[in-house]
Structure 1
Amino acid sequence: MTVKAVFFDMGGTIDTFWYSKEMRLAETPGLQLLLSSYGLDLRLNDQQLYDLVTNGIARYHQWRLVSYQELPASVVWRDYILAGKSDPYPQLDSIADDLMVWIETHYYKRKMRPEIPAVLAAIQSMGLKIGIISNVNSRGQVPLNLTQYGIKHYFNPIILSSEYKWRKPDPSIFHFAARLANCPTSECIYIGDRIARDIVGAKRAGYKLAIQIKHDFKHGENDDG
């Protein structure tokens, strides 16, 4: 079996994550401070801000599950999270990605799987290319967490839906990753935790093998293949 590249999903695969309403509410004062530092005074208490953000992101998530598209963070904030607000918040164009990174790193508790460094070192020792294909709205969260975990140097290319504009399971993002690795999809392996977007998407793109890694946290999203 000829294999030249191994691609990983990020959340649920490279790292595990969990969240709860209580945890997110406890983190929300930090979001209040961040918004204030950028001159965004929404005049909401913590519960109201939590509801605004989580409901807006939930609406956006339902849309992207159907469309397979990823909108810029500024559009998500303006059209989904702050929808109906009369203020156009012009500063969103420059700060929205920072706000989304905050949400993705504070509204989720993340931890690298302990076996990952050894797995990556073993794959690298075989002379295989290693990459990431991640569905994520910010441009900054995945590189930030990879750096914090001390494993960013293993990955090239790193494909983010926030930059590519299409999400898994759309086959095009898998084809794009293979092209950047200079490998045919028939010589690529993909490893992810979700059947509906990771396994199905990789198979549709013609990857040689798609491997599911179980992630125990249940967040209510359908995962039929």
Structure 2
Amino acid sequence: MNTDIRYIFLDLGGTFRVIDKDPAYLATARAKIAELCGVKTEDPTRWFEDVIDKRYDVYREWALKYMCEAPEEVLWRRWLAYDCDPELIRRNASELCYQYRQTKGRRTVVEGGADTVKELCRRGYTLGIISDLVGRREVDEWLDQDGLRPYFQTVQQSSVTYIRKPGPAIYYYAMEEVGAEPENCCYVGDNLNRDIIGAKAVDFGMTVTVQYQKDKPLKLTAENRPDAKVYRFPDLLDIFPKRGQVAVEKLIPPEDGQ
């Protein structure tokens, strides 16, 4: 582990943002998906679960295998709605991706997340986002709505790069945009087999995993073992006191099965 950390890159889902699965919110998004696909059904939720969700499972298997994200139109015309009017799907592909994300829940910044990011920037760290997700619209809208765009000097999305973690290239894009060397970078994420493996593959100086559920054991291997873990997002402030520094004594080391 390198303690000369100047750049901190964040995962989004499960790390910086968490999901509220409000049933009414999910149902509205699923009904909108059916409408956008031109599907008439009395039970949009059942149709979504039986058709779109199952097709997405097949797509996800392909995406993970090749560490690739399909363009919006390709995702829907090839994988999710190939039996619907292709011209309708082409016109609605962007909105379909946006609504698909909403079918999984309402995403909000984790408690203390915004203040932590602002303080890390005040301490001199350069921050960025490296995230896997479908659709190009959602993250840009969220950053503007929450007033967080000024705090992230690079935003790398698999929906834009077409590369998913742990593919090394998406990390390289982030480093290139901010002028960083890998040994001065830390990645913070919740998924050991994507977030941590990818960061270690490009020789990041440090990796941190968030474990919001303390009773959920980590399945650690030599390849996915992070340098530290935190139980609350604001705990990052204990670890990073000033640009170019790491408070090693504050680290909670990951342990086998914990």
Tell me the TM-score normalised to structure 1 length. Answer: 0.84
Give the superposed CA RMSD.
Answer: 2.4
Aligned match of 2:154: 157
Instruction: Give distance in 1, aligned partners of 2:108 and 2:22.
Output: 16
Gaps of 5+ in 2: 214-218, 225-258
Deviation of residue 123 (structure 1)? Answer: 1.1
1:17 counterpart (16, 19, 27): 19
Aligned residue for 1:131? 128
Equivalent residues, number: 213
Pair 1:97-2:94 in alignment: yes
1:141 corresponds in structure 2 to 138
Percent identity, aligned pairs only? 23
User: In 1, distance between residues paired with 2:67 and 2:17?
Assistant: 23
Equivalent pair of 2:26/2:102 in contact (CA under 8 Å): no
Instruction: State the match for 1:55 in structure 2.
Output: 54
- How far off is 1:50 after superposition? 3.8
Which of 110, 117, 120 lines up with 1:120 in the alignment? Answer: 117
Residue 71 of structure 1 aligns with an amino acid whose one-letter code is A
Measure, in 2, the Cα distance between the counterparts of 1:137 and 1:78. 14
Measured in 1, the distance between the counterparts of 2:78 and 2:41 equals: 18
Write the letter of the residue equivalent to 2:105: Y
TM-score with structure 2 setting the length: 0.74
Instruction: Report if the CA contact (8 A) 2:133-2:158 is conserved.
Output: yes
Offset of 1:52 from its aligned partner? 1.8
For 1:137 and 1:197, the matched residues in 2 are separated by 16
How far apart, in 2, do the equivalents of 1:160 and 1:26 lie?
Answer: 26
Superposition pairs for residues 1-225 of structure 1, below 5 Å? 1-17=3-19, 19=21, 24-25=26-27, 27-33=29-35, 35=36, 40-45=37-42, 46=44, 47-83=46-82, 85=83, 87-216=84-213, 225=224
Specify the structure having the higher radius of gyration (Cα): 2
Query: What is the CA deviation profile of residues 64-93 of structure 1, one whole-angstrom value per residue up to 9, with x for unaligned ones?
Result: 11110111111111111123x2x5512433
* CA distance in structure 1 between the aligned counterparts of 2:154 and 2:165, rounded to whole angstroms: 16
Separation of aligned partners in 2, 1:29 and 1:185: 44
